[in-house]
Amino acid sequence: MSKNKILLSVGTLVVAVAIVAGGTIAFYNDTETSAGNIFTAGSIDLKVDHLKQTYNGVDCETCNVTIVSDTTNIVTAKNGVPIATTPAVAVTQIPGAWTASIPGATWIWATDPVLPEDATTDVTYTFEKSFDWNGPIPSATITFSVAADNHYEVYVNNHLVAADVNDNNFAVADTLSPALITPWLISGANTIKFVVKNKGVPGGTPENNPAGLLYKLTIDGNCSSEYFQQNFQSQCKLWQEKDLGTGDRFFKFDDIKPADWGTNVISLHVSDNDAYACLIANNKDDQENSLLETETEAGDAAGQGNPLGFGELSSFINVFTWSDTDGDGQYDTGESSLGSVGPLSSLASIMSMDSQNHEYLTATTTKNIGLAWCAGTLTPNQGGAFSCNGAGMLNTAQSDSFSANLTAYAEQVRNNGAFQCSGVTLPPI
């Protein structure tokens, strides 16, 4: 009896083991994996261009530009293959051979003298020079002369405009017709490029087979001779879409009189994300400079006026901004204002695209901002010309000056529905 009980206990243990082993049998299953999950922070990349400006009805234009062969030209390729860019070097003119002469231009090449291997084998070097031109091309006067040892091709903004395979292009400079160039010049940044071949000579040496490029391009915009126009043309500056840097000023006027006025077209661009945008006048500085008798008679006194410096000029310079849909600098019917008329002294954001006026920049598109200013009372006339009445500018502003930074600021739209330009605080500069 006792023996049977023991056997039953052993059998029970065997069953228990079998149950545990049965738990390892695989059931139907499926697995789906989402791999490589990433969170990447978005970005706002704001760029600005300044494509149009007027002063008292005169367009900002380049009066004249002269581009010559000199060491500001850049060597960009050898035998059509891009190389690390280096400045061109002036080379010694060969007496009795290089008889071509262009006043103001210098013979240049990639090296001085030519490399020994470039004297025995055909070689080409590419030279480039960039320049800005703002204004009409058809009415400009253009002269263009080129000489080379030996062959040359000329490109304006990557368009081939002239070529000459004459071996003796160093004897007399060629004069190129303006008609070859004018179709390809643009208002803004331009690039002129020369591809010059030096023919190799068996047994040639740097001394008996030199190479060089000589050229001069002049564009004369035939600006008016009136003083204020000439002065304006020398100070105004236009540029293409870019990040702003040193010297990129929208305004520089040194002789403002009552009833002077002007307009600007400033374009803003953002990539990746929609953004609110503001044009903020900051770091304002009113300077009294000398206190003239006429100012004293008008009630001006030292230590009185606007801070800093106590000058009054910013109180009389009124501005207005609008959404300039077509970028023509005119306040056309149907275009909306982006800021009410007000003096620079009291305005922080002179242009607001924010939650208050339900305006913002759309990513990858261009937004043209029109800006008008007046030394006096400014009246926008939608569909017509602006009115500027200088009677509102008092003698207390005489000899005063005003400077400020004009900062373009952008901030994301998404999850930021309460943004207003008036709440932006810029870091000190």
What's phi and psi for 120, nearest 5 deg? Answer: -105, -20
With the CA atoms of 75, 77, 79 and 81 taken in that order, what torsion angle do they form, in degrees rounded to the nearest 10? 170
- Alpha helix stretches (DSSP H) within 193-325: 227-235, 293-297, 313-316
Determine the pLDDT at residue 227: 55
Query: Cα(396)–Cα(190) distance, rounded to whole angstroms?
Result: 45
Determine the pLDDT at residue 63: 82
Domain boundaries, the chain: 62-220, 227-423
Q: Which residues contact 92 (CB under 8 A, 6 or more apart)?
A: 107, 112, 113
Instruction: With beta carbons less than 8 A apart as the criterion, state whether 188 and 239 touch.
Output: yes
Q: Is pLDDT at 185 greater than 50 in this prediction?
A: yes
Query: Cα(87)–Cα(416) distance, rounded to whole angstroms?
Result: 49
Q: What are 81's strand-pairing partners?
A: 78
3-state secondary structure 52-99: EEEECCEECCCCEEEEECCCCCEEEEECCEEEEEEECEECCCCCCCCC
Determine the pLDDT at residue 225: 61
Instruction: With beta carbons less than 8 A apart as the criterion, state whether 216 and 66 touch.
Output: yes
Mean pLDDT on 241-261 = 91
The SS3 of residue 120 is: helix
Determine the pLDDT at residue 35: 84
Determine the pLDDT at residue 23: 52
pLDDT band at 24 (very low <50, low <70, confident <90, very high): low
CA triple 335-370-234, angle to 5 deg: 155
Mean pLDDT on 194-199 = 98
More confident residue, 14 or 364: 364
pLDDT band at 25 (very low <50, low <70, confident <90, very high): low
Burial class of residue 247, CB neighbours in 10 A (0-12, 13-18, 19+): exposed
Q: Is pLDDT at 36 greater than 50 in this prediction?
A: yes
Q: Is pLDDT at 90 greater than 60 in this prediction?
A: yes
pLDDT band at 223 (very low <50, low <70, confident <90, very high): confident
Determine the pLDDT at residue 9: 35
Please state the length of the chain.
429
**Which of 249-263, 270-284, 296-310 shows the lowest mean pLDDT across its residues?**
296-310
Mean pLDDT on 208-237 = 84
Determine the pLDDT at residue 42: 74
Local structure of residue 8 (DSSP, 8 states) = H
pLDDT digits (tens, 9 = 90+) for 286-327: 999 989 999 999 999 988 888 878 999 999 999 999 999 999
Q: Is pLDDT at 341 greater than 70 in this prediction?
A: yes
Determine the pLDDT at residue 237: 87
**Count of alpha carbons within 13 angstroms of residue 339, beta-carbon side:** 30
pLDDT digits (tens, 9 = 90+) for 415-429: 999 999 999 998 876
pLDDT band at 5 (very low <50, low <70, confident <90, very high): very low
pLDDT band at 21 (very low <50, low <70, confident <90, very high): very low
More confident residue, 252 or 5: 252
The rounded mean pLDDT for the chain is 89
Q: Is the dihedral of CA 120, 121, 122, 126 positive or negative?
A: negative
Instruction: With beta carbons less than 8 A apart as the criterion, state whether 193 and 128 touch.
Output: yes
**Which of 24-38, 149-163, 377-391 shows the lowest mean pLDDT across its residues?**
24-38
Is there a cis peptide before residue 313, judged by omega within 30 degrees of 0? no
Q: Is pLDDT at 343 greater than 60 in this prediction?
A: yes
Tokens in use for 36? Answer: 């490589």
Q: Is pLDDT at 16 greater than 80 in this prediction?
A: no
Out of 2.60.60, 2.60.120, 2.60.40, 1.10.10, the CATH code matching 62-220 is 2.60.120
pLDDT band at 226 (very low <50, low <70, confident <90, very high): low
